Amino acid sequence: MRIGFDVRPFLRQETGVGVYFKNLLFELAALDRDNEYCLFSASYKDRFPPAKIPPFEKLTFVDKRWPVRAVNAAWDMFGRPRLDRIFGGRLDITHSPTPLRLPASGKAIVTVCDLFFLEEPEKADREARTRFLRKTGRSLRSADGVITISEYSARAIRERFGLDEEKIMVTPLGLNRFFEDPAAPEETAAVRRRFDLPGEFLLFVGALEPRKNVPALIEALALVHERHGRIPLVLAGRSGGDGEKVDREIERRGLGAWVRRTGYLPDVDLRALYRTAAALVFPSSAEGFGLPLLEAMTCGLPAAASGVSALPEIGGDAALYFNPEDPEEIARTVIRLLADSPARESLKIRGLRRAELFPWRRTAEATLGFYRRTAGKT
């Protein structure tokens, strides 16, 4: 088979679907020596780093100096340029990193991490509002296969669009083996110095987007300070659409000296934070998976998370859960975690055990099987 991909989501900063696609493709490169993989990237400013190109035995890689928005507009409006032409021949399968089909012949598989952009469009990012909102239903119904990352998202897709169960494949994200290794002492020391961190602090990982619900976390932090004691909170992730709102809430609560905003961080710094924090607090109102929860479990970090969407499916019995709309309950859960050392140790052990249920190899094997089934090669 010739299998086509759009790899632009992990051209630069790797978040969300970029993390998913990068790990999937590198695992497929180790697993599959029979099929040809055709990878497309485009950017007017940036060239695709050679180190990020998966080492497929049969590989065609095309990196165009084309503006990203121009490519998206041409694909959305005209279905041009077709990937068959870019890669010099027909593709048997295309796997899109988004809910929108890639313009090509052959069978089309699309990726839907969640339906948050349809359920609460006012909180979605610009691309979701402008590209996905009107086109997703038609794309999913016409696609030959849909890949999603949790049973929660699969149920939502079936219920909203009436798709057959056989058309949808659930392939959970996997644990990043990098996070299994302990952080070097110099790495943790450097992170502590840079963000002026004491012995104990709380950690949030994710973009400051509306669905991440960080203003409620800031309100809960003020309650933790009143009832338990002062403890810093690190917000690790890019600013996103809620950055200014979060800053206003920090100022209103008088917590400027206690909240550290790091911006986007590479994995080496994230690992140091996961390995030294007292707990992860993850208050998202909607997640198709919740990768920071898996990363925290991999690092042995106890977690308190929202008891909604896919998070209980991922965390199982290895996290404490709260109502994300209730800052009082968030604060009570965090205080319980901080005050109960045996509970933290128990969650750490259960988290390490649960993280082993999410290997990337299993995800890659299931995905390759889905390609073969969709292409009629089995």
The structural domains of the chain, ordered by start, are: 2-174+359-375 (3.40.50.2000), 177-355 (3.40.50.2000)
Predicted confidence (pLDDT) at residue 126 exceeds the cutoff of 90: no
Distance CA 290, CA 113 (A): 10
Range scoring the smallest mean pLDDT among 46-55, 82-91, 226-235, 343-352: 46-55
Evaluate whether 273 touches 236 at the Cβ level (below 8 Å).
Answer: yes
Task: Say yes or no to pLDDT of 252 above 80.
Answer: yes
Residue 2 near residue 36, CB atoms below 8 Å: yes
Cα separation, 19 vs 235, whole angstroms: 19
Whether residue 82 is predicted with pLDDT greater than 70 in this model: the reply is yes
Higher pLDDT, 21 or 312: 312
**Sheet of strand 168-170: strand arrangement:** 59-64, 36-42, 2-6, 93-95, 107-111, 145-148, 168-170
Query: Residue 61 above 70 pLDDT?
Result: yes
Q: What is the mean pLDDT of residues 245-254?
A: 96
Position 294 pLDDT exceeds 80: yes
Across the range 62-67, mean pLDDT stands at 94
Here the tokens at position 197 are: 């961190």
Instruction: Report yes or no: 259 and 233 within 8 Å, Cβ to Cβ.
Output: yes
The alpha carbon torsion through 362, 363, 367, 373 (nearest 10 deg) reads 40
Predicted TM-score (pTM) of the model is 0.91
State yes or no: pLDDT of 282 exceeds 80: yes
The mean pLDDT of 296-302, rounded to a whole number, is 97
Tell which wins on pLDDT, 216 or 199.
Answer: 216
If you average pLDDT over residues 312-336, what whole number do you get?
Answer: 98
Task: Give 3-state DSSP helix, strand, coil % of the chain, rounded to 5.
Answer: 50, 15, 35
Q: Do residues 203 and 301 touch, judged by C-beta distance below 8 A?
A: yes
Taking the C-alpha atoms of residue 280 and residue 157, their distance in angstroms, rounded to an integer, is 29
- pLDDT reading at 127 higher than 90: no
Q: Does the pLDDT at position 14 exceed 70?
A: no
Mean pLDDT value of segment 328-339? 97
Look over the chain and give the mean of its residue pLDDT values, rounded to a whole number. Answer: 93
